[in-house]
Amino acid sequence: MLRFISILFFVTFLINSSSAQQLTVPQPSQKASVTQTIGLTDISIIYHRPGVKEREVWGSLVPYDAVWRAGANENTTISFSDEVMIEGKVLPAGTYGLHMIPTQNEWTVIFSKNNWSWGSFFYDEKEDALRVKVNTVSAEHQEWLNYSFDNPSPNSVEIIMHWQKLKVPFKVEVDNQNVVAEHFKKELNSADGFFWQPWNQAATYAFQNNLDVNEALNWADRSININKNFQNLWTKANLLEKKGNTAEAEKLRSDAWTVSTEADINTLGYQYLGSNQVDKAIETFKKNVENYPESWNVYDSLGEGYMIKGEKKLAKEYYQKAYDMVKDDTNKKRITNILKGLASN
User: Could you tell me the CATH number of the domain that includes residue 230?
Assistant: 1.25.40.10
> What pLDDT does residue 174 have?
97
Which of 128, 157, 174 marks a domain boundary? 174
CA separation for the pair 78, 90 (Å, rounded): 15
Residues 153 and 183 in one domain: no
141, exposed or middle or buried, with CB in 10 Å at 0-12, 13-18, 19+?
A: exposed
Confidence of residue 16 (pLDDT cuts 50, 70, 90): low
How confident is the model over 289-319, as pLDDT tens digits?
A: 999 999 999 999 999 999 999 999 999 999 9
Residues 143 and 234 both lie in one domain = no
Domain co-membership, 106 together with 144: yes
Instruction: Judge whether residue 1 has pLDDT over 60.
Output: no
- Residue 119: the pLDDT is 81
CA-nearest of 242, 284, 240, 283 to 262 is 284
Answer yes or no: do 116 and 148 share one domain: yes
| pLDDT over 90, % of the chain | 84
What is the predicted pLDDT for the residue at 270? 94
User: Are 54 and 77 contained in the same domain?
Assistant: yes
Average pLDDT over the chain reads 91
Domain finish residue from 151, 174, 197: 174
Q: What is the pLDDT of residue 13?
A: 46
Residue 327 sits in the same domain as residue 279: yes
In a domain, 15, yes or no: no
The per-residue b/e assignment along 77-86, b for 16 or more CB within 10 angstroms, e otherwise, is bbbbbbbbeb
Contact 48, 70 (CB under 8 A): no
Rounded Cα distance between 161 and 225, Å, is 52
pTM score, two decimals? Answer: 0.76
Residues 230 and 248 in one domain: yes
* Residue 23 is assigned to a structural domain of this protein: no
Residue 117: how many other CB atoms lie within 10 Å: 16
Residue 114 has pLDDT above 80, yes or no: yes
Specify the number of domains making up the chain.
2
Do 104 and 65 fall within a single domain? yes
Quick check: is 24 in a domain?
A: no
How far apart (Å, rounded) are the C-alpha atoms in residues 225 and 219? 10
- What residues pair up with 131 in beta bridges, in sequence order? 110
Ramachandran angles phi, psi of 267, nearest 5°: -60, -45
**Per-residue burial over 293-322, b = 16 or more CB atoms within 10 Å of its CB, e = otherwise:** eebbbbbbbbbbbbbeeeeeeebbebbebb
329 and 248, same structural domain? yes
Span 52-65, mean pLDDT? 94
Angle between helices 213-226 and 230-243 (to 10 degrees): 160
The yes-or-no verdict on residue 5 having pLDDT over 60 is no
83 and 194 both lie in a single domain: no
pLDDT classification of 344: cutoffs 50, 70, 90: confident
Q: What residues pair up with 288 in beta bridges, in sequence order?
A: none
Q: Is 89's pLDDT higher than 90? A: yes
d(CA 125, CA 114): 10
Q: Which residue from 299, 295, 291 is spatially nearest to 321, judged by alpha carbons? A: 299
Residue 19, pLDDT score:
52
The model's confidence at residue 24, banded by pLDDT at 50, 70 and 90, is: confident
Same domain flag for 147 and 203:
no
The answer to the question of residue 25 being in a domain is: no
- Regarding whether 181 and 104 lie in a shared domain, the answer is no
Q: Which domain holds residue 51?
A: 30-174
Q: Output the pLDDT for position 14.
A: 46
